[in-house]
Each structure stands twice: as C-alpha cells, then as structure tokens.
Structure 1
Amino acid sequence: MTQLLLTLLWVYYNPYEDGTRVAIPEYLNIVRYLLFRFLAWGLFWCLLVALPSKRVLRYILAVVAVVLILMPFMYELFMLKMYHVLYNDSLADIMLSTNSREGVEFFKAIMGGTDFLWVLFITGGIVGVTILVGCLLRKYEAHWASYTRLAFIISLICVVYGVVALQLSAMEQYYGGVTISKVRSSSYERFFWETRKSLDNVRNIEQAIHNQAEAFNKLVIESQDSPFNRPVTIVLILGESTSSLFMHGYGYPLRTTPKLDSMEREGQIVRFRDVVSPASSTILSNTRSLTYYTMEDGGKPWYQFPTLLSVMKRAGYKTAWVTAQDAMGMHSMVHLFGSTADTLLGTPGTIPTDAAGYYDLDLPPRHDGQLLDILLHRDQMEGGAGFFEVVHQMGCHEYYGDRFPKEFEYFHPEDLPQRRGEKKDRYLLDYLNAVYYNDFVTVSIIDRYKSEDALVFYFSDHGEVVYNDPSSPDFRGRAFHRVGVSVPFYAYMSPSLRRDYPEVWERLIGAKDLPYETDLFTHTLTGLLGIRTKYTNPSYELFSNSYRKDRPRVVVGLEGSYMPLK
C-alpha cells in the first residue's frame, strides 16, 4: 500500500509538459501493473517475520521489517510533498555530500513543519490501518488457519515472481544508463540502484581527479594577457543558501545588508542586478560554477572539465581554499575542489584529523566570523603570478538559528512586514538574522584585502525559499524556479587597483545590469584575467564585449532534468 501510494502521488505531482494531469484510466493501468509487484514486497516482509519458530526472533524481525518499510516510505513521501520527486541519483549525490552535523541541523529545521507533520499523519494512518487488519486476522484466525500452507506456497511464488520482476526491470535500466522508472520500481529498487549509480559517480570522480592530476601539466594555457601588469590577489567568497530576495540591496524591505549597501552607495562595490544559480543544491551548483562545465554541456559529466583551481594553478597563481564547511562527505566541496589547492585551511572542526573527533556533535557553534582568523594573503605565499583564494562560507545554511552569534539577533517579530504565526515568524527571523550576519562577515572579509592589490567576488551557491514563493506561500526549502535560485553577486576592487586600472573597474560596472547565471563564473573570471584555453568562449564571459546577454538560462532540478528559468 505504501509503495503504490508513493507512485500514484508522484504521477499526480508530475503532470505532462503541457501541464495536463494524468487521466484516470492511466492511473488504473499503473495500479494494474504495479499492484501485484508491490504486493510481492509486502508478502516478502510477512514471510520473513513468520518463518522463525522462536517468538523473540519474530519480534526482532518484525521491528526490522517495520523500520525498513516505513523509513524509505517516509523519506520519499517527504520529498514528494516538498519537491515532487522520488529518490534518484542526484538526491543520492546530495546525501553523500552531507555530513552528520548538517543532517542533524536539517532534521531540526524540518521538525514541526507542515510537510513533516503531513508525513507523520499519513504514516500514522497507514500504521493504524495495518494494526486494524492484524487484529481482524487474529480475531478470525480460525476461519483461515487451515489454509496457511497453501497461502505460504502462493505467497512464496508471488514474492519470487514479483520482486524478481522489479529487480530485473531496475537492473535493465541501471545497466542501460537511464534513471530508474518511477512507475516501474519500489523504494527498494530506487534506493539500491540509484545509490549504486551515485557511488559509480564517486568512483568516476575519483578517477577523474586522478586523471586531472596526471593531466595537469598537459593543460595548455594558449595565452595569458592579464589586464594587471603586477601580481594581484583574487578572492572568491563562496556563499551558501543566501537568497538575494532577502537582501535589502536587492529590494527586501528590511535592512538586512547595511554594510554591502553602504559600500555600494560609496561606489566601492558593484552589485549585479539579475543573477541566478544553475541549481538549488550545493553539489549541483558548484560543480558548474567552479569548472568550465556550462549548462550547454548538460549531456557530459562535469568532472570531464578543468576546475577553476586547476586552471589558476596552471596559469601560475598560488591557490588556497579556506572553509567553514565540513570536509567529510564523498561529494563535499573540500573533497572535490579544496583538496586540490596549494593550501587548505578550515575553521575548528571542519577538517578533522580523525573521524571519531569529527562525529562529536557537541562541537561548539560554528560561525563564519571564524574565517577571519585564517584568511591568507599574497605576501604569505612564495612566488607565483598572483594569489587565488576561495573562502567558502556556511552562509545561511539550515539550521538558520545556528548560523549567527546571539549578538547578531537583530530582527524581531515586530519588524516583519507580514506576520505568519509564531513558528513561521521564528523560522523567517532566523533566516533574516543569518543574512544580516552574513553581510557583516562578507564585508569584513573584503576589508581584510582593501590595503593590497585585490579583486574580490562574492556570490552564493544557490538561494532559499522561506515562505516567499507566491505559488506556494507556506513552502520553505529548495525550488527550481527564480524564487529558489536568485542569488547575490558582487565584485570589489581595492582602492589601489581601482586607481591604477580604471578600465577594469568600468568593465565591471558596465555589466552590472546584464542577466547572468553563475555556471559561467569560471569562464568569466579566466576571461577577465586574460587566461585562454581550448575551453574559452567569450560569449560566456560576463565582462567581454562578446557576452551573450540573451543566452537562455536553465536550471537543473533534483532529478537531474534541465528546465528553463521561470
């Protein structure tokens, strides 16, 4: 029953491309096809519990069966309610890039939310029905007990046929290189085969990283004509889950970004008006922003393209990755990118020396202000044509209340332009205070480089929806249209560079009103620095006269599909 419900809900939430819903006869066809196969899984668990002769063992197996039935169901039901997706390899990638601390924070964030309560309500209803059926079976056991042996044989045949049929179908799709069909699989096939596909990706990435290391000397810089005639410091402040729609500089009514706003008024920083990220998750977004991979290359794996760090190193820059995010996770940004930098530094607890210490959830609160103590400067690096540093923030990542020190709890319920109830107000206030603190940290980082020749960029990996989606006003989380991928993008040049290279500053200012997607950042930065490779395409470079401002912007969803920006 649980698996059939998931499939029918997925069909309901995913209409045809023209927006029309699936017709009733097609629902009936799906039920006809899946009912017997899903029944086989139910019979499998029943047989597993019934086989042992000892009651204690039956009870233990019953508990295991309930957990293995309900946990995948509740997870997929939650994903359906929030994002209209079932488990797939993209979700597996995200889970593999998530560490225990982020998992605990995410669970804290969803606890008590309407979607979470909806899942509990549905699950409770199914458990209740199951208990009722069990009581009825025990009450009328005398009427069916004599058919136990026949029922066992029929059930065993059904299990063998139904479960094997599902596995063969899933196996065929896996080895065919396609996503497991949502109407031809249960949670078990999806979790096994899609996770296996993600682990295949991990092995491919590891091999690609190894190959990139071997091929580093073969990466040809065709030309290098920097607009700066002396070594400079390039800093990328990489934000996290910070939506421009909650920033005062982008039109939000509360003064959530007073320091960035002040710098913009004084002409010290350029704010780019219309910027979106290529995805609404860190792994799907940064693997595009930090490589030559673009949305036009959607059919190819991102790891077949040079990373921004590798190109900068090849161009002679010393590189560093400074992070406030955890290093654990097969797809963590430190593992995929930071580990290839010349220098890797992290705030306390992010880059552990042993796994046991890392999984201590009693670590002190981690705030981005701790990054200020470990920032690097060009005069600390020996040699090089310049210095390139990525500063990866925790930004506004859930759980928002843990993202800022209590002294930065600036906004209160009476400040909100619209009240939504105590719980929703608290959730939104935590996000606004996280944005407010992020403004302080970002400008503080910039201030550390104002006395040297420095060019600083800041953008967030993706946005966040916090009750501001007009089509779903009670929704909070990730979305694949503009409200979920609108991100801030700023550029700063230190006074010495603005004075000596006014033409570069004018190029930045001249692009501030152009539409942009951050999957082009590697192209944009290397183009600005005059670094040319075989991947160079001036139409992808925001500060180039050849930039294609009418380029269609596309967003990748949690199922890996590409959708036009809406």
Structure 2
Amino acid sequence: MAVRASVEYFSDAKKLDQYAKNKIGNFNNVSKNFDSNEQEVYVIIIGESTARGHLGIYDYYRNTTPLLESINDELLVYNNVISPDTYTIATLTKAFTLGNYENTQAKFEGSIIQLLNQAKFKTYWVSNQNPIGVNDSHVTKIGLGSDKSYFLNIKRAQEKTIFDEVLVKKLDEILKEEGHKKVIFLHSLGTHFNYKYRYPESFNFFNNDIPKSNFKKQVVYDEINAYDNAVRYTDFFINEVIETTRKRNVKSFVLYFSDHGEEVYENSEFYGHFRDENLTKNLYEIPMVLWCSEKYKISKKIFPKLNSKYMIDDLFHSIADLVDVKADEVDSTRSIFSEYFKERNRIVRDSIDYDVYFE
C-alpha cells in the first residue's frame, strides 16, 4: 500500500509539472469583458487547517474574530462549506483545477490560474508555506503556473516561522506594480500545527483560560488556547488583507477559505487533521468569507446562498464566476455565487457521503 501510494505521488507530481510549462492551458472559448480603463484587483486567501467551528463569526463561544465581526455587514459569510478531504494536496489539487470527486484525474486537465492567464489577467502566487515539503509540492506546481510566484518561507510548519503578515506586505507591493487586471493568491500558514508558532506574543490572548472540552487535561487546554490564539491572529491577517485591498478604491474582492479543518480535542481526543484518524465534522467544516468593494458590487451581481451545501472541489468554477470569466469548461451550476448553482452530493475521503454520514 505504501509503495503504491509513493508511486502515485511521484507520478502525479510529474503530471502536474505541465502547469508551470503551459501557463495558459487548453480551454475553449474563453471570454472576459474588460473595461481597459478600470482597475481590477482580486485576492484569494488560502487558509490552512482552520475549523469553521472555532471562528467567532460562526458563533464560537470565544471572541476569536473581533475584526471580521466589526465589518460583518460588509461580508458574505458562508455557513455550510466543507472540504473534500483532510490534507492540503487532496483538497487544493481539486479546488484549483477541473478535478473533483467525480473525476479526480481532471486535476491534470486545467487549473484556474491557467484560465485566468488565458483571460489576460496578471496572476500572482505568494506563499508562506515551504514550497518543497511533501504536503505542499503538488500545490506549488499549480502555483508556479502564475505569471509571478513568491515563496517567502523555507521552514516547515512544525517549526517557528515568519508570520502570515509577510503576505500583506508583499500584497501591498504587488498592488503598486503596473497593470490593471490582477488576481493574487495568498497561501497562508493559517492555524497549522504547531499552533503556538502561528502568532506573535501580542496575540497570546487565551493564555491561562480553561476552554470548553470533554477532555480535562492541561495539555488539552494548552493546545486549544494556542489554536484559538492562532485563529485570532488569522482574523487580524484577513482583515489586513481586506483593508490593504480596500485602500486601492478599485473593483475588487477578497475571498478567504481554508483548505480543510482541524480537530482540536472537541469530538475526539486528538488534535490535527490526519486522514486515517476518526472522522469528525471539524476535519471538514471550513470557513468561507467574501468581501467585495463598492465598485465590484455595482458591476457584478452575486446571489448569496449562504446556507447552501457546498464543497470546495468546485472552487474552480466559483472563482471563474467571481472574476466573470467564461469558457466551455466553466460550469455555472457549480458556482455558489451563481443564480444557477445546484447543490450536489458531497463525497469526502473518496467515497463517504458527508451529509449522510454526519446526519
């Protein structure tokens, strides 16, 4: 089993090399109506290991998202979004390509970055994750399809690393560059273990508190407190991205989602997101939040279906819809932002019907 998995991993990695070599893909009848005088800036934040249930904006009992809550009336907060799997490669290689649980091999048939390039956007991939780790190299290959890619961190997530605000500084630099049509992907470390390394000391907010948990141990309390501090820092980071984008006063949006969730001693006595552990909702339930500028709202109508069942293996189609790019391969029924969106079965871990399993 291990040998077969290893062979498959390296085989997939070789196939994904195409994304850096062929940056426009092979999409058919691509169209995008541009106003040459209007600036467009679209930012997509890829979160990491963040369970929806730990965000105050989703009614968590702790105040983990004070800044997002302060602009709640400007946000579309999606309440029923899940990830198709519990690790980065399995989720993002579907989310950013034509791949989905019905056809996993379609992940080699085209990426959202290729589509954006073909539609004449200038694309950027800015990552605070180690580009050569086992967990991230497949995703890196998709990111290398962008016009410009930056990898700001060479350490593993388990180590003490630079914080996600470095992505905000790079975003600000990119926004000052020439070019009117930009899509910028920010790949954050989010709340990835080791949780205590994901935030500066000034965000050590939940310190000696005793959090709610069925497991009454100090080590449990320490991990939950550290995780919630990391969520609170993520709130700061997302807000900084929104405010940096807002200052440009252009047609823009910021879309945030997490690649998968995390179990932190709530439904099971463990923390992390390992695929072979017991299934819990926290492994799959993820936040997804959209902020749009006033100029964007004037030109583009979004149909907010905040409680609809949605899985991010369809994110390719949803992003294409948000930036108003059309192609034969784009399916509006798979975009949660579209009036034509249709709910579908949500199959996780390759074969489990999520909504039946957790009913």
Instruction: Answer with 515-524 or 459-468: which moved more.
Output: 515-524
Q: Which residue of 2 aligns with 1:442?
A: 238
Which structure 2 residue ranges, 5 or more long, are not aligned?
none
1:424-456 per-residue CA deviation (whole Å, 9 max, x = no partner) reads: 111111111111111111111111011222211
1:107-136 CA distance string (max 9 Å, x none): xxxxxxxxxxxxxxxxxxxxxxxxxxxxxx
2:90 aligned with 1:291:
no
Identify the range of structure 1 (522-531 vs 478-487) with the bigger mean alpha-carbon deviation: 478-487
| In structure 2, distance between residues paired with 1:327 and 1:211 | 17
- Match status 1:402 vs 2:197: yes
Deviation at 1:294, TM superposition (A): 2.2
Match of 2:346 in 1: 553
Pair 1:273 & 2:79 matched = yes
Q: Larger Cα Rg: Structure 1 or Structure 2?
A: 1
Q: State the shift of 1:410 in Å.
A: 0.2
Q: Shift of the alpha carbon at 1:480? A: 4.5
The aligned residue for residue 335 of structure 1 is: 140
Q: Is 1:412 paired with 2:223?
A: no
RMSD: 2.7
Alpha carbons of 1:381 and 1:334: their partners in 2 closer, same or farther (altered >3 Å)? farther
CA distance in 1, matches of 2:218, 2:116: 49
Q: What's the counterpart of residue 21 of structure 1?
A: none
**Percent of aligned pairs with the same amino acid:** 22
Q: Structure 1 stretch 319-328 or stretch 532-541: which is displaced more?
A: 532-541
The normalised TM-score by structure 2 is: 0.88
For these two proteins, the number of residue pairs brought into alignment is 347
4+ residue segments displaced more than 4 Å: 225-229, 361-364, 376-379
Letter in 1 for 2:265: Y
Alignment pair present for 1:451 and 2:261: no
Look up the equivalent residue of 1:426 and give its one-letter code. Answer: D
2: CA distance between counterparts of 1:343 and 1:223? 22
Distance 2:319 2:340 in 1: 15
Does residue 389 in structure 1 map to residue 184 in structure 2? yes
Matching residue's letter, 1:279: D
Which residue of 2 is the match for residue 544 of structure 1?
338
Q: CA–CA distance in 2 between the matches of 1:275 and 1:229?
A: 36
Counterpart residue number, 1:344:
149
Which is further off, 420-429 or 527-536?
527-536
Q: Deviations over 1:211-230 (max 9, x none)?
A: 744xx364334433479983
Distance 1:229 1:542, change over 3 A: farther
Q: What is the match of residue 292 of structure 2?
A: 493
1:139-150 superposed matches below 5 A: none
Asked whether 1:257 is paired with 2:65, we answer yes
Describe the shift of the 1:333–1:394 C-alpha distance in structure 2 as closer, same or farther (beyond 3 A).
Answer: farther
What's the secondary structure of 1:483's corresponding residue?
Answer: helix
- Provide Cα deviations, 1:111-162, integer angstroms capped at 9, x if missing partner: xxxxxxxxxxxxxxxxxxxxxxxxxxxxxxxxxxxxxxxxxxxxxxxxxxxx
**Secondary structure, aligned partner of 2:62:** coil
What TM-score, normalized by structure 1, do the two folds share?
0.57
Check the 8 A contact 1:480/1:555 in 2, yes or no. Answer: no
Note if 1:524 corresponds to 2:318. Answer: yes
- Identify the residue that residue 225 of structure 2 maps to in structure 1: 429
Residue 185 of structure 2 aligns to a residue whose secondary structure is: strand
Contact 1:226 1:528 in 2 (8 A): no
Partner in structure 2 of residue 84 of structure 1: none
Deviations 1:64-93, CA, capped at 9 Å, x for gaps: xxxxxxxxxxxxxxxxxxxxxxxxxxxxxx
- Which secondary structure state, in structure 2, belongs to the residue aligned with residue 458 of structure 1? strand
Q: CA separation of 1:229/1:382 partners in 2, compared to 1, >3 Å: closer, same or farther? A: closer
Greater relative contact order, per chain length (Cα 8 Å cut-off, separation 6+): 2
The structural deviation recorded for 1:407 is: 1.4
1:481·1:555 contact (CA, 8 Å) conserved in 2? no
